[in-house]
Amino acid sequence: MKAKFAELVSYFENLATQHSAINHQIGEKHFFRFELEEMLTGMKSNLNYPALILEGYDFEFVDHDSDNLQKRVNCAFMLLGHVKDKGDFDAIHELWDSLEEIGDELVVRILSDKRQHKADCLGYFHAKTITGTPITDMNLIHYGFRYAFELSWPVNNDVNPEAWNDSDVNG
């Protein structure tokens, strides 16, 4: 199994489509990858709420001296909403409550999909690593939560001979 970021993006887009409160559709975007151009364009023109935003990831290789190479992936998603008045703290807290509920539902679904082997990219989803943090963008009057989590994927330790030209350079 070789998971890729494209599979993770597709999986999260499906979550955004299937969750009734997010309801991502082709003509009404509620899902974005955290790529600067897409975000800037989306925030200005066609971002609908609540929005599910999957960030890119960073990774490191881990093997614990056992020749079982793993790619440990740190990733995050954000749930964003919008309020009209940044001084309406009741509306902000109601929005945070509803977005936190959606986030909890997403985590439960991810864990269920992992247990049912519905996506290779979730094979090593580590629930104990999930952290949630409230986020605020006062300028755009966006509020929400950022959920950080860890995945890991096995990496094949066998050298692919088709990827290398091992002919004798000196001969």
Task: Look at residue 168 and tell me whether its pLDDT is greater than 70.
Answer: no
In this prediction, residues 37-57 reach a mean pLDDT of 73
pTM: 0.84
Domain span at residue 11 reads: 5-154
Residue 27 makes CB contacts below 8 A (sequence gap 6+) with none
For residue 15, is it within any domain?
A: yes
Decide: 128 and 107 in contact? Cβ < 8 Å. Answer: no
For residue 91, is it within any domain?
A: yes
For residue 88, is it within any domain?
A: yes
Tell me the H-state helices in the chain: 5-18, 36-41, 89-115
CATH code of 39's domain: 3.30.70.1700
Decide: 12 and 24 in contact? Cβ < 8 Å. Answer: no
**pLDDT at site 3:** 61
Tokens 């997010």 — which residue?
22
Dist. CA 58–CA 72, nearest whole Å: 8
Task: Look at residue 64 and tell me whether its pLDDT is greater than 80.
Answer: no
Number of domains observed in the structure of the chain:
1
Higher pLDDT, 43 or 149: 149
Higher pLDDT, 98 or 45: 98
For residue 133, is it within any domain?
A: yes
In this prediction, residues 89-117 reach a mean pLDDT of 96
For residue 167, is it within any domain?
A: no
Q: What is the band of 1 on the pLDDT scale with cuts at 50, 70, 90?
A: very low
For residue 111, is it within any domain?
A: yes
In this prediction, residues 43-48 reach a mean pLDDT of 67
Higher pLDDT, 19 or 46: 19
Total residues belonging to the chain:
171
For residue 159, is it within any domain?
A: no
For residue 162, is it within any domain?
A: no
Q: What is the band of 45 on the pLDDT scale with cuts at 50, 70, 90?
A: low
Q: What is the band of 27 on the pLDDT scale with cuts at 50, 70, 90?
A: confident
Q: For 141-158, what is each residue's pLDDT tens digit?
A: 889 999 999 988 888 788
In this prediction, residues 132-140 reach a mean pLDDT of 82
